[in-house]
Amino acid sequence: MKLNFAENIAFYETGDGSNTLINKVTNETYHSKHGAVQESMHVFIKTGLDFVLGNRHRPLKILEVGFGTGLNALLTADYNCVEPFVYHALEPFLVPLDMISNTNYTRYLNQKHLKDYLVAQYKKQTELELNPMTLYLGNCEVKIFNTRLEEFETDLKYDLIYYDAFSRHSQQEMWEGETIEKIVSLLAPGGVFVTYSVTGNLKRAIRDLGLVVERLTGAPGKREMLRAIKPSL
Ligand SMILES: C[S@@+](CC[C@H](N)C(=O)[O-])C[C@H]1O[C@@H](n2cnc3c(N)ncnc32)[C@H](O)[C@@H]1O
């Protein structure tokens, strides 16, 4: 499966001034149109990462579904660059280097982390087909797996999952059935799942798998978001 980035993907300036990408065929953006950086900070960093810091095993293990531009990984490293953590991200359609380097994220991010990220991307695209690609952002090891969640295999269980799939509107299969069962099975006991989307079906599916579900205030422009916690053993 290949995505033609030059033809199908364009930049889109969001409400907080930060760019995201838009798929011109599905009209789906990679982040909220109200603010890309604002949404990532609210949903994944403040409601996810900040919540688990301080009460989890070390190193903290994080899984992101839908790596996209890498914004969530970079914001995570910037927020928590003192403590080491393991960050695994899944992405079947790796965004090309020229698109990543032309986002205007420089204004919002640690310059050293951004440079390390771009150099690693450059190596991947010019030297080897590395899968997973590993990069180091400060103390943090980030591995990007060029795969779909459905095919991802690991023995690890994660303390924190950033679920950043495209919306139900364009990828319904990501929000129900076996896909939700799979992502919940990858959470460690006590682990935390966060996502920008809340629907009745998603809440029910996650509750039925034994998690405690919270509906919290969403990023600006969205009424709600979801955080769910897997009970400790
Ligand atoms: C909403 S965007 C994520 C934006 C990203 N977190 C960022 O900061 O740029 C959704 C991402 O999920 C990826 N995706 C699509 N199908 C997927 C699948 N089956 N498993 C994992 N990721 C998938 C898309 O290619 C896209 O990059």
pLDDT in tens, 184-218: 999 999 999 999 999 999 999 999 999 999 999 99
pLDDT tops 90 at residue 16: yes
pLDDT in tens, 146-182: 999 999 999 999 999 999 999 999 999 999 999 999 9
- Ligand 1 atom 22, closest CA: 66
Backbone angles phi, psi at 229, to 5 degrees: -125, 130
CB of 92 sitting under 6 A from ligand 1: yes
- Ligand 1 atom 1, closest CA: 30
Strand order of the sheet with strand 9-13?
A: 9-13, 19-23, 28-29
CATH number of 34-229: 3.40.50.150
Contacts of 129 (CB under 8 A, 6+ apart): none
**Residue predicted with more confidence, 120 or 145:** 145
pLDDT tops 80 at residue 138: no
Contacts of 61 (CB under 8 A, 6+ apart): 85, 86, 88, 156, 157, 158, 159, 160, 188
**Predicted confidence band of residue 79 (pLDDT cuts 50, 70, 90):** confident
**Predicted confidence band of residue 219 (pLDDT cuts 50, 70, 90):** very high
Residue type for position 78: D
Averaged pLDDT of the chain = 90
* Residue corresponding to tokens 């295999």: 153
CB of 108 sitting under 6 A from ligand 1: no
- Ligand 1 atom 12, closest CA: 66
CB of 72 sitting under 6 A from ligand 1: yes
Q: Which two tokens stand for residue 194?
A: 């966060």
CA of 101 to the centre of ligand 1 (A): 18
- Of 9, 159, 187, 172, the C-alpha closest to 76 is 159
pTM value is 0.95
Query: What whole-number percentage of the chain has pLDDT above 70?
Result: 94
**Predicted confidence band of residue 41 (pLDDT cuts 50, 70, 90):** very high
Q: Ligand 1 test: best mutation among 148, 172, 186, most atoms within 8 Å of CB?
A: 148
* 59: preceding bond cis by omega (within 30 degrees): yes
- Ligand 1 atom 19, closest CA: 148
Q: Ligand 1 test: best mutation among 4, 75, 91, 183, most atoms within 8 Å of CB?
A: 91
pLDDT at residue number 82: 65
Buried b (16+ CB within 10 A) or exposed e, 208-219: eeebebbeeebb
CB of 45 sitting under 6 A from ligand 1: no
Helix and strand counts by DSSP (H, E) for the chain: 8, 11
Least confident of 18-27, 82-91, 114-123: 114-123
Residue type for position 23: N
pLDDT tops 90 at residue 81: no
Contacts of 175 (CB under 8 A, 6+ apart): 165, 168, 197, 199, 201, 202
Q: Sketch the domain layout of the chain as residue ranges.
A: 34-229
**Predicted confidence band of residue 107 (pLDDT cuts 50, 70, 90):** confident
Can you tell me which atom of ligand 1 is nearest the CA of 64? 6
pLDDT tops 70 at residue 125: no
What pairs with residue 29 in β-bridges? Answer: 22
pLDDT tops 60 at residue 128: no
pLDDT at residue number 101: 80
E strand residue ranges, the chain: 9-13, 19-23, 28-29, 60-65, 85-90, 133-137, 140-145, 158-163, 187-195, 212-217, 224-229
CB of 166 sitting under 6 A from ligand 1: yes
